[in-house]
Amino acid sequence: MPLPGSIRFFLLRPVPGQPCRLLLFWKMIFFAKAILFDMDGVLMDSTPSVERVWRAWAIAHGLDPDRVAAQAHGRRSIETIRAAAPEMDAEKENVVVEQMEIDDKEGVMALPGAAELLAHLHPDRFAIVTSATRPLAVARLGYARLSVPRHMITAEDVVHGKPSPEPFLKGAALLGFPPLDCLVFEDTPAGIASARAAGMQAVALQTTYPADQLEAAHAIIRNLADVKATLREENVILEVVSVPIVKS
């Protein structure tokens, strides 16, 4: 598979009282045969729901809500429970949390560019690889008015969640492509680590974490509206515009 190419665009912006600063905008071209999308924070904004549910659960069990909520993004809920309260019956609590997440739909909406990009791709060339359970994934896709895809890997399909490479390796196998032919869109450090460990290229979305926590990705974008996909023979060619890199 060809390596991604890149083109720099330069913009000079004077800052009063400071030396002139140079903003570097990168337009990068990726070649892939299959695309793997994380769901929350990539295709939809569910952060308010996630925060409400995990904070409420933590408070109900006398746990630090800030610490628990910070652990919840990009991980299977059962793993968050095990990390936050190892003395609890994680499987029993996971059923409770899952229903809380399914019931909390306020503010769950598609992120810019998500519906357009999915509609442009062949249904056998992409999959959702999410840490959510299948019932929760189907519910949130419905809340966001996104179609349930033909191919999806959810929490029940793996033994080890992200940052293990297992979820994305299973996503590639589900589509029938080797890892090197897959490109991942992710929004969390755990998800990017999972993709990189699986031997895949990863593009990070700056929707949940700041850019300095996403530097392991091959590119960082604002959201999927910064992606243009072109189908050419066996390849999906994706042109992405990365967020600015500020250098003095």
DSSP letter at 203 equals E
pTM of the model as a whole: 0.83
**Cα atoms found within 13 Å of the Cα of residue 194, Cβ hemisphere only:** 32
Which phi and psi angles does 71 have, rounded to 5°? -80, -15
**pLDDT for residue 14 is more than 50:** no
Domain chopping of the chain, boundaries: 32-45+108-237, 47-103
Q: What are phi and psi of 148, to 5 degrees?
A: -70, 125
pLDDT of residue 24: 56
Residues labelled as active-site residues: 38, 40
Number of H helices, E strands in the chain: 8, 13
Say how far apart CA 211 and CA 206 lie, in whole Å: 6
- Of 1.20.1430.10, 1.10.3720.10, 3.40.50.2300, 3.40.50.1000, the CATH number of 32-45+108-237 is 3.40.50.1000
Q: What is the pLDDT of residues 32-70, one digit of tens each?
A: 999 999 999 999 999 888 889 989 999 999 999 999 988
pLDDT tens-digit map of 144-179: 999 999 999 999 999 999 999 999 999 999 999 999
